Structure 1
């Protein structure tokens, strides 16, 4: 029903389908926006951020969305989702399920769900491209081995992903492609190859390198950005540490101490020897240590408060950096100063006592003499405030100052150039001898490592040709041809195409019709994703504002 409707709309009334998308967005804004379109809502309405049945201001709802999105991302590795993209994917899934409700797409029955599962790439045999019951069982068992993922959750996500696929199908619309394009794609997929690889190891390539002063100077002049010393900032850390305020920490009463011990009992319980029963520890047995830890925790809280008092005082009193009043405050607040190595804008040092965010923020405190100190950052032992000591401008060092670095860079560039030249020589030698010898013999005689691959098609590439530029050369070469050397990782690789067989195309055959159906479905799903992304972005912007942040 849905397919017929969307086909009709897109073929004959494209403006109507576009209008449908507008109606969906407007309906979303009117029904789930943070404030009623028809009048002011109560305070509870304004606080809730309703998004297709979820409240984005609720951490529990955010976790629920992220949980199902995480399972879905595992089941769809072809999406190549990174961890930082997971929440965006969660929003998209929720929007798609909301649209599924509006379009009346039901949950799948057992038969429909089984057919959908068989189409998922993760459950298919990589060689045949068909559903593999073994691959399915392995993945389900792997998911269930994680205590967070139970069978019910996985089944729920599969049902949701089925409905989402139907939304993508409806939004994607019919697919139109020129017959030539479809036929060429079929040829690319079904063409078979027999290929041998020869590898030239970069690491073991050791040409003689002896650079003259003239060559080094020229390289230095041609690559100034490599040697410019960037602008750096000098910063000092002011540490408010718990140990400095232990004398201000009170002794705990019995109730507070018992609660503290109960929460942290595991850290005071010794690890039993292998095979022995766990030891039950009591508060009386470790009382002295527990009291010490409790007071240290209180001292850390006092240290954090002291950092607030210090910052407020130097701001209100206009205390200048390194003045007598400033030095007196350092003593009064028992502050330990910590020099921090100068750093550039894109290379803040890694320091346990000072978060990277705080270090990066210091660049905004260099122009106002009255505000030379940072915000406060909590630490495990209290708090830290940073003060800026000034900026050192960027400069271009003299050649002699960076001679060693220039020499290293020049030699590296020369080695790469000579490696490429040697690769070109090897190709000429191999091509010149192919009429009388085999590729493997010629490549081996030159010291290259040879690997003969099993025959394959464009649909099922061997691992060695996936994800790199080598296949883009191989796929268009005639039989008996050799690629240029391609640098992958630390190796130069040649590919020799021994055989290349292009299939005959029968556009009426079952194989071609199956391919055409799969190709059109993939294009439909791709367009569906794009339109679903537009709807998700617009609905989130309507709810959260252009930056998509919950305020």
Structure 2
């Protein structure tokens, strides 16, 4: 089926699209390398079956192929691979469960006409105007097969199964359950308008002072003593093994080695300026110097990695302690040195560090006996993290943090005073309005700043209107003062003079639009729950050995 499309499409895709796909496929190769973590490495996972698939993709080529399907489908349908292990696992399980149901429902693979029609509806294969662009199919096939990670059969199976899943979803997805009153209420809510006022209380206008006793501060400190605990601090250094230091040890590659390296990494040398897409993929002779340099860098990186592994093993095998003459001799013999890092406080890596997060994850597990990490690859080199000292976590005595306690006590007291003043002002405003005064006049008499807004709503959010005002106005009765909402500058009160909302009959455009939105929402919830139940059923069967 895919071959028919390739033969029928004579033109190659546009260069920019090829380059875009190259980036996606490079990422794809990386994820495929991380595939085993997608399900489970536990010994029991090799024998557990999820709708006939092993839960260990490492041990089962069929499950590994399904992971590849998942990534191809994700690239085609969303333009990117699953972004983390959790997403990959969820899509892996969902796809297996849905294909199991498609098998049960006897949904066949598409014939040639149905398959072409399906591809034409996929946005990934459409141009900027939404029209099907066959060249994009060809470009995708060219690039994916150049990645050497999967073949035509895998691509064909992934897209064909996408079609089957689509047909399954169309057959079981409900139209979306809605109630007339729910539709009308939602439509009116979206179109409602309000005449309202907002009164602002500035904290700076309040008279406030606090003079706590030592006993009050001591009690405040005692009740929150953990808040003043200083976290553990780790003094770290790193040893860098740079490939540049090993470049002189690398000999020139043979023609066979260079050709093999180029074939495996050809997409790294795409010509972005090529006018003809056929010229975007260069021949070796055209980029030989760059390929040789990259090959040598790869070999130097391998040597640097080996040196770092030998270094770490020697520390372990010879039981060399940090800071001893033997340790210094090791540094000298490997022509490396310690580079001090800023302290690692708690589990927070030092700011502006160029090391990956995994390096500090390892650093957090080091101790006096195992004070060195395994070699860690960064973007440009290999590093070993060295733990030189640990300052344990401790709770300081009251006197050493008294000023901080006083500041916290004062801030909390100010907030409590603000809330208390807000409750008192709301009561005063409500009493004045009950006596016949307008909200604006009452608020002004209490030194509040008042701003009025007319005919505002979700479809008319006037500048200066607080973000939460419409949501609060929906449930606030007319001519009542809201509770004060605390803001950065103090707080504000809301007052609704009047509200209005048009009526929408079943024949109105707004009613039908709202019905469609609510229907899609309930349908999505149903399908999400349905797929979740399928996964749960498969997981239960896997644990019991029933699938």
1:34 and 2:39 correspond: no
Q: Structure 1 residues 514 and 251 mapped into 2: Cα distance closer, same or farther (>3 Å)?
A: closer
Deviation at 1:529, TM superposition (A): 1.9
Q: Structure 1 residues 250 and 218 mapped into 2: Cα distance closer, same or farther (>3 Å)?
A: same
Deviation at 1:163, TM superposition (A): 5.1
Contact residue 100 and residue 167 of structure 1 kept, 8 A? no
Distance 2:346 2:325 in 1: 31
Equivalent residue, structure 1, for 2:486: 487
Task: Find the residue that maps to 1:338 and give its secondary structure.
Answer: strand
Distance 2:515 2:492 in 1: 35
Distance 1:162 1:437 in 2: 65
Equivalent residue, structure 1, for 2:4: none
Deviation at 1:82, TM superposition (A): 9.5
Task: After TM superposition, list the pairs within 5 Å mapping 1:504-519 onto structure 2.
Answer: none
Task: Find the residue that maps to 1:372 and give its secondary structure.
Answer: coil
Task: After TM superposition, list the pairs within 5 Å mapping 1:18-417 onto structure 2.
Answer: 32-34=52-54, 46-49=60-63, 55-58=65-68, 61-68=69-76, 70=78, 86-87=87-88, 90-91=91-92, 94=95, 95-96=97-98, 99-100=101-102, 102-103=104-105, 164=169, 166-169=171-174, 190=188, 194-198=194-198, 200=200, 211-212=211-212, 214=214, 216-245=217-246, 248-250=248-250, 252=252, 299-350=300-351, 352-366=353-367, 369=369, 371-417=370-416
TM-score (normalised: structure 1): 0.59
Q: Structure 1 residues 345 and 498 mapped into 2: Cα distance closer, same or farther (>3 Å)?
A: same
Deviation at 1:198, TM superposition (A): 1.3
Contact residue 487 and residue 493 of structure 1 kept, 8 A? yes
Deviation at 1:479, TM superposition (A): 1.9
Deviation at 1:206, TM superposition (A): 7.7
Deviation at 1:436, TM superposition (A): 4.0
Contact residue 376 and residue 382 of structure 2 kept, 8 A? yes
Deviations 1:363-420 (A, max 9, x none): 33326x2x33211101344311122235332211123433443344334333433332
Distance 1:516 1:350 in 2: 51
Distance 1:90 1:334 in 2: 48
Task: Find the residue that maps to 2:361 and give its secondary structure.
Answer: helix
Contact residue 99 and residue 167 of structure 1 kept, 8 A? no
Contact residue 198 and residue 493 of structure 1 kept, 8 A? yes
Q: How many residues align?
A: 443
Q: Structure 1 residues 394 and 49 mapped into 2: Cα distance closer, same or farther (>3 Å)?
A: same
5+ unaligned residues in a row in structure 2: which ranges? 1-47, 141-158, 274-284
Q: Structure 1 residues 455 and 307 mapped into 2: Cα distance closer, same or farther (>3 Å)?
A: closer
Equivalent residue, structure 1, for 2:429: 430
Deviations 1:199-258 (A, max 9, x none): 637686686555546354443333212211122333322222345445x43464696999
Distance 1:82 1:471 in 2: 36
TM-score (normalised: structure 2): 0.60
Deviations 1:114-150 (A, max 9, x none): xxx9xxxxxxxxxxxxxxxxxx9xx996999xxx999
Deviations 1:11-41 (A, max 9, x none): xxxxxxxxxxxxxxxxx95864239xxxxxx
Contact residue 238 and residue 386 of structure 1 kept, 8 A? yes
5+ unaligned residues in a row in structure 1: which ranges? 1-27, 36-42, 74-80, 118-135, 272-282, 547-551
Contact residue 199 and residue 448 of structure 2 kept, 8 A? no
Q: Structure 1 residues 210 and 514 mapped into 2: Cα distance closer, same or farther (>3 Å)?
A: closer
Deviations 1:32-51 (A, max 9, x none): 4239xxxxxxx99932207x
Task: Find the residue that maps to 2:396 and give its secondary structure.
Answer: coil
Distance 2:412 2:136 in 1: 50
Contact residue 465 and residue 471 of structure 1 kept, 8 A? no
Equivalent residue, structure 2, for 1:439: 439
Q: Structure 1 residues 511 and 228 mapped into 2: Cα distance closer, same or farther (>3 Å)?
A: closer
Distance 2:210 2:532 in 1: 56
Pairwise CA RMSD: 6.0
